[in-house]
């Protein structure tokens, strides 16, 4: 699998976030800081996520995506879209309950020519740990299955 990268573009408050390769917790600070900047944009109007070039993603990344959807719904009253043509990733999204958070599209989205890589942001060990815990709390809040799936991990993270 290729190393993960996060790309984004925006125009007139409409945002596109593309995740490529194997997206893991080493990108959680990058993703979280981008989301904060996006929500601070007074022109923010929409966001959709392009996972067509995503080869893999960990539960921290999934938790951050869930956080994105919950925040969009709470602040703006709509569900963002995810476009993904990878059957494995689509099964993962469905198994995590993402159909209740996002409009899921199992197709390639329109490509944005002006999309650029978001610079990687290094987080301190504690900041990354905090984001991992937060992301998993969000996932656990989506379903009983997720609660069972991540309870042991959370016990270890919260004790350490």
pLDDT at 112: 61
**Residue 18: what are its φ and ψ, rounded to 5°?**
-115, 130
Residue for token pair 């022109």: 43
Take residue 78 and report the two structure tokens written for it.
Answer: 């709509």
Query: Looking at residue 98, what DSSP letter applies?
Result: G
pLDDT digit string, tens, across residues 126-159: 888 888 889 999 999 999 999 999 989 888 888 8
Confidence class for position 108, pLDDT limits 50, 70, 90: confident
Query: Looking at residue 25, what DSSP letter applies?
Result: G
In contact, 68 and 158? CB cutoff 8 Å: no
Rounded to two decimals, the pTM is 0.88
Q: Give the DSSP H or E segment for 17.
A: strand 14-23
**Residue 102: what are its φ and ψ, rounded to 5°?**
-125, 155
In contact, 98 and 65? CB cutoff 8 Å: yes
pLDDT digit string, tens, across residues 49-106: 999 999 999 999 999 999 999 999 999 999 999 999 999 999 999 999 999 999 999 9
Take residue 32 and report the two structure tokens written for it.
Answer: 């979280």
């Amino acid at each position: 699998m290729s190393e993960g990268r996060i790309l984004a573009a925006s125009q007139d408050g409409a945002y596109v976030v593309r995740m490529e390769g194997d997206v893991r917790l080493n990108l959680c600070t990058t993703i979280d800081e981008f989301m904060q900047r996006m929500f601070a944009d007074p022109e923010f109007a929409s966001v959709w996520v392009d996972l067509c070039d995503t080869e893999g993603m960990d539960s921290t990344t999934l938790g951050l995506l869930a956080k994105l959807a919950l925040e969009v719904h709470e602040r703006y009253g709509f569900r963002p879209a995810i476009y993904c043509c990878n059957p494995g990733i689509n099964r993962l999204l469905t198994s995590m309950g993402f159909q209740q958070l996002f409009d899921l599209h199992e197709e390639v989205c329109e490509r944005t020519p002006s999309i650029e890589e978001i610079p990687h942001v290094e987080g301190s060990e504690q900041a990354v740990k905090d984001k991992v815990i937060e992301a998993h709390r969000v996932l656990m809040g989506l379903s009983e299955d997720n609660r069972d799936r991540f309870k042991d991990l959370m016990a270890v993270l919260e004790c350490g």
